[in-house]
Amino acid sequence: MCGIAGIYSLSSHNKLSLEQEVRKMLSLIRHRGPDESGIYLNDSLAIGNARLSIIDLKSGRQPMTDDSGNYWIVYNGEIFNYPELQKDLQKKGIHLKTNCDTEVVVQMYALYGPDCLQHFNGQFSFCIWDKKKKECFLARDRVGILPLFYSFKNGLFSFCSEIKGLMALSENERAICYKGLAQIFTFWTTATTLTPFKDIYQLPPAHYMVVNSEGINTYKYWESNLSYPGSSAALVFSDTVAEFKELLTDAVKIRLRADVPVGAYLSGGLDSTTVTSLIHSIEPRILNTFSIGFEDPVYDETSYQMEAARYLNTRHHAFKCSEEDIRNSFEKAVWHTEFPVLRTAPIPMYLLSGEVHRNNIKVVITGEGADEFLAGYDIFKEAKIREFWAREPESEIRPRLLSRLYSYMPSIRDASPAVLRLFFGYKLNETKNPFYSHLLRWHNTSRIRSFLSRDISSELSSYDPVNDLYDLLPPDFEKWSVLSRAQYLESTIFMSGYLLSSQGERMMMANSVEGRYPFLDHRVIEFCNRLPERWKLNGLNEKYLLKKMSEGMIPDSVRKRIKQPYRAPVPGKFLLSDESGFLSEILSQKKLDSTGLFDSSRVNTLIKKIRSKKEVSEVDQMALTTIISTQLLYKMFLVDPVMDKTNNLSDLRIVTETRAI
């Protein structure tokens, strides 16, 4: 994958040095593409690319044009079915000069226009310039694996793979978007086009954008439709298992296409172990696998990881992460997330991708997506239990199912029925609410907003982020089942905005590593969406179909183990041993008051509570992580002059409309 950036001046009176501005952006995202860089330039436009070479290492340089020379592309991503599309293009008489997917994308656009997106199986964000129309076409993949941010100010439209590039432009103001913060402090991410920063937006997944003299128009080209799950009466389970295996195997196979070595993340769970097993069956040679473990046994899954690695005979690289490692890398990881983080989980993933990079691996295949589309998360079971409980709200027995669900959390596992009722009973009877499955999570998370400063709280007093979601829902969403609604919300908000971004792609690309996700192949998603619900969540047995499919492929101890979500040590622990004073400085009353984001007295009360070693709730831990990461973002993006520094792009190639420099 790569990094892309560009500026299009729609205003005749605004003639910045477009080349210099795009140079700034590319230099700040060079970690995304350390191999080479290039800019296409004319009087009103500059578009650039920083390339991480994965396919066709020698002739895949960007910017690249189609056969006619009218369309120019800068591209970030992989189209995994590009060999098949190459053949289709050649049958139509189109001569291809390279063997890379970038040329396929621009040639397909020249042939089909926006409909080209329907032909792509991949993960991507790109911009195509149409010289004749003087028009930019930008697009993002179906589930939002790859980022694309933009701004439009004073007649200048600019875009970049990362926010830091846009923040470096002289036209853009550096300021916090309070509504963006409110969304993040509710959903863990923004659910709309907002970001944490004022006047900087993101193109939503499964959308494309057209920018020309008439303005900016955005269109949706794909939807994850869970409205019509199938009936098991019309299907044979064994046949469905076989069909799923064939489909997932092909999704893995096409994601092995690369001109560099491919590795895999092996977490010790069902999803990554199944994917690794499929890789082994397709490419029997030794596979490099990578995992992360923790010194704290509460979070550690090393025993399962090692068992899976031995079973599949991989060359395994096990990385152990300490609380000190998390503390020391917190700031670097936040620089790359560009969003506040509510938990420390992204930091170990940043460290893990560093291990991958040090082993000279550029691509890793992972198991993300299985939990969302095969109903693996606890939130799906929780919604099912709460709906069941709501039928007899006075029952003493039904809420006890929740203690079984969260057996890995002593505070819930050992709780009395009265405590369970108090915690999980929030809006218990609102089963028809379209957001029923997530109301409790969003309510608990939104308590972080109580730490915001009085001025910001006052400005947000009449704003409820949940209300912004109604316009984003598919037609008849309220008629979907509770599970279908929960899956849709989890995959379109949390997965895209947090899991694949702050915890996924951004942590990999920080170390120039590309992630690939077979479970997020759109064919796999559409297949899972049509499954009978009990073949996904069978009682409280999650990912039922996948467990059956993986019989004999992976160790039974991994296949049958109780679902344990990936978690990392909480910040309260390393706040107690802050020898460098880094956290104390960022959380000092002086710093808190200078940013004006948080109420320093409330934050100080929280810190004293944690340092007293009293019982600290999950919400308090999340609040502390959020406050630290938000304070860091303010420092790095709004105060620190490092944003104004640019690195030398010694390999930069500049292409004009008449010649290449």
C-beta of residue 9 within 8 angstroms of C-beta of residue 154: no
CA dist 74 and 138 (Å) reads 10
CA dist 139 and 206 (Å) reads 8
CA dist 436 and 442 (Å) reads 10
541 DSSP 8-state letter: B
Residue count of the chain: 661
Q: Which of 193, 228, 148, 185 is nearest to 469 (CA)?
A: 193
C-beta of residue 101 within 8 angstroms of C-beta of residue 78: yes
Q: Which long-range contacts (CB under 8 A, 24 or more apart) does 585-590 make?
A: 586/628, 586/631, 586/632, 586/635, 587/627, 587/628, 587/631
Query: Which residues, listed in sequence order, are joined to residue 556 by a DSSP beta bridge?
Result: none
CA dist 547 and 49 (Å) reads 42
Token code pair at residue 646: 């640019």
- Note if 2 is an active site residue: yes
Q: Which of 590, 487, 595, 580 is nearest to 537 (CA)?
A: 487
Amino acid occupying residue 263: G
581 DSSP 8-state letter: -
C-beta of residue 103 within 8 angstroms of C-beta of residue 89: no
Kindly give the residue spans of alpha helices, DSSP state H, lying in 338-453. Answer: 346-358, 370-373, 378-390, 401-405, 410-413, 417-424, 436-446
Q: How far is CA 288 from the centre of its chain?
A: 24
CA dist 124 and 147 (Å) reads 8
Token code pair at residue 329: 């890398």
Token code pair at residue 256: 């092995």
Catalytic residue among 2, 100, 160, 528: 2
C-beta of residue 25 within 8 angstroms of C-beta of residue 48: yes
Residue 629's SS3 state is helix
| DSSP code per residue over 84-101 | HHHHHHHHTTPPPS-SSH
In which residue are the tokens 């690794």 written?
A: 276
C-beta of residue 348 within 8 angstroms of C-beta of residue 503: no
CA dist 550 and 78 (Å) reads 27
Residue 538 phi/psi, 5-degree rounding, is: -95, 100
Cα-Cα end-to-end distance for the chain: 24
Kindly give the residue spans of alpha helices, DSSP state H, lying in 49-97. Answer: 82-91
- Vertex 379, ends 202 and 236: CA angle to 5°? 100
**C-alpha distances out from residue 93 to 89, 90, 111, Å:** 7, 5, 11
Amino acid occupying residue 518: P
CB neighbourhood size of 259 (10 A): 14
- Based on its alpha-carbon atoms, the radius of gyration of the chain, rounded to whole angstroms, reads 25
**C-alpha distances out from residue 373 to 346, 376, 406, 542, Å:** 22, 8, 21, 11
Q: Are strands 201-202 and 288-294 parallel, antiparallel or unpaired?
A: unpaired
CA atoms in the 13 A half-sphere facing the CB of 556: 1
253 DSSP 8-state letter: H
Residues labelled catalytic: 2
